[in-house]
Copies of this chain bind each other. A is one copy, B any other.
């Protein structure tokens, strides 16, 4: 299936260059162009592209806002940011707006093509300098998860039971999952609660989420 592309950039020269570059791709067809956020929205409505290449610096609004508006109306359209900006702020905002890729204009042509294909497949291409930022963010957010090591002296089995408890399972459900008696589950639960000084399942859930043992 060929990919229907819409180019959004306020510089005609850039659009021409992209057309040159992408016209060689068999699987891609450039169905339209837009020079502003407003045009991008109307052209998306009219042409229904699969993938939009979106500049960030546009005359009327930012490409970030344009992305947000287009994704709100046409959630299936994949949008790849193509911009000179490698700022952390723009990048994260673009992700939050629903972008399926982020490629700086300095990237190699092959990388843009990879990004477009990935977006069309419902995946995400991130240029390495930006991917680094996202990974850094992930690691800072997940740092609590590293505390899996110090679990206040819980044994392996207790830790396993704790995961199920935190996910809201009943004793019987846990027993079935671990193929042990409900009584043993209860035994483990008691030990866990005593070691962690907790006294209800609700407290266990909060503890587990705080420690990164499970996600909320």
Contacts and interface: CB of A to CB of B under 8 A. Distances in A.
A124 to B, nearest CB: 4
Interface string A130-141: 011011011111
A124 B114 contact: no
A214 to B, nearest CB: 8
Interface stretch (A45-53, A176-184, A197-205): A197-205
Contact of A205 (B121, B123, B205): B205
Which of A126, A141, A142, A165 gathers the greatest number of chain B CB atoms within 10 Å?
A126
A108 to B, nearest CB: 8
Contacts of A134: 124, 131, 134-135, 138
B124 A131 contact: yes
A98 to B, nearest CB: 9
A114 B165 CA distance: 43
Contacts of A111: 114
B135 A124 contact: yes
A96 interface: yes
Interface residues on A, range: 35 or more
A209 B216 contact: yes
A66 interface: no
Given A135-B134, A168-B203, A124 B118 contact: no
Nearest to A208: B216
Interface in A120-169: 121-126, 128-129, 131-132, 134-135, 137-142, 145-146, 165-168
22 contacts: A96-B139, A96-B142, A96-B146, A114-B128, A118-B129, A123-B129, A123-B131, A124-B135, A126-B135, A131-B131, A131-B134, A134-B134, A134-B138, A138-B138, A141-B141, A167-B206, A168-B206, A170-B200, A201-B201, A202-B204, A202-B205, A205-B205
Given A92-B138, A92-B142, A110-B110, 16 more contacts: A95-B138, A96-B142, A122-B132, A123-B129, A123-B132, A124-B132, A126-B126, A134-B134, A134-B138, A168-B203, A168-B206, A200-B201, A202-B204, A202-B205, A206-B216, A210-B216
